[in-house]
Chains A and B, each alone.
Chain A
Amino acid sequence: QSVLTQPPSVSAAPGQKVTISCSGGSSNIGINYVSWYQQLPRTAPKLLIYDVYKRPSGIPDRFSASKSGTSATLVITGLQTGDEAEYYCAAWDNRLIAVLFGGGTKLTVL
């Protein structure tokens, strides 16, 4: 069971917006940077967001993220069928001295 909690699945229609939450605690999200990953089927994960809200080059601004207290949120706007994937949050945990991944959220674009 992951210490970072994500909803197992979310869905929305093409063109719509979806939010994916990531709930943690005071030893991880509460005091450290959060990153987000996209994993398309049968591929390695890809970095979507780092430092809570920054996008690597090549990641469209349809992807945005934020953090409040011990929770983080990924927002995807203008949904496309190609966005169907598993999404993971990650953060360093000062108490466990380890990286934690969320359990993953499967996005379905209806």
Chain B
Amino acid sequence: EVQLLEFGGGLVQPGGSLRLSCVGSGFTFSAYSMGWVRQAPGKGLEWVSGFSLRGTSYAASVKGRFTISRDNSKNTLYLRMTKLRTEDTAVYYCAKSDGPERLNEIEYWGQGTLVTVSS
């Protein structure tokens, strides 16, 4: 059974940093594209970042502030978030694609971890 478990959400002040982790199990982690999608309270889905066989990519809203990485030996995906803004407040979902490339085809989602940016 595929599982994605996110860790690292919480309350952080504007301008602060946070690192999210996502541990995957039940599949060959290194063979799949992985990414992060967020959802602000009462709002729609917003793709944040992805890591495919072609490399990394970011939404314009987070480029230069967020860094995605993965450790295939630990089956773990990371999202390092810096210079956080109040508008980054959202539930962050870890996302597993259905193949090595298509980041928009998310076969499995984590349960989500809440990041709150507030003073």
- The chain A residues found within 8 Å of chain B, CB to CB, are 2, 32-35, 37, 39, 44-47, 50-51, 56, 86, 88, 90-92, 96-104
Contact = CB atoms under 8 A, between A and B. Distances in A.
B104 A45 contact: no
Given A98-B57, A98-B60, A2 B44 contact: yes
Interface residues of B, number: 23
Given A44-B93, A99-B35, A37 B105 contact: no
9 contacts: A37-B106, A45-B106, A45-B109, A47-B106, A88-B45, A91-B104, A96-B60, A101-B47, A103-B44
B35 A104 contact: no
A31 to B, nearest CB: 13
A97 B35 CA distance: 14
B102 A33 contact: yes
B104 A33 contact: yes
Nearest to A89: B104
A92 B103 contact: yes
Nearest to A103: B44
Interface string B81-99: 0000000000001000010
Interface in B95-119: 98, 102-107, 109-112
Interface of B: 35, 37, 44-47, 50, 57-60, 93, 98, 102-107, 109-112
Interface centre among B37, B44, B46, B110 (most CB of A within 10 A): B44
B45 A104 contact: yes
A100 B45 contact: no
A46 B45 CA distance: 12
Contact of B50 (A45, A51, A99): A99
Closest 7 A-B residue pairs measured CB to CB?
A: A99-B47, A44-B109, A104-B44, A90-B104, A50-B105, A99-B104, A101-B45
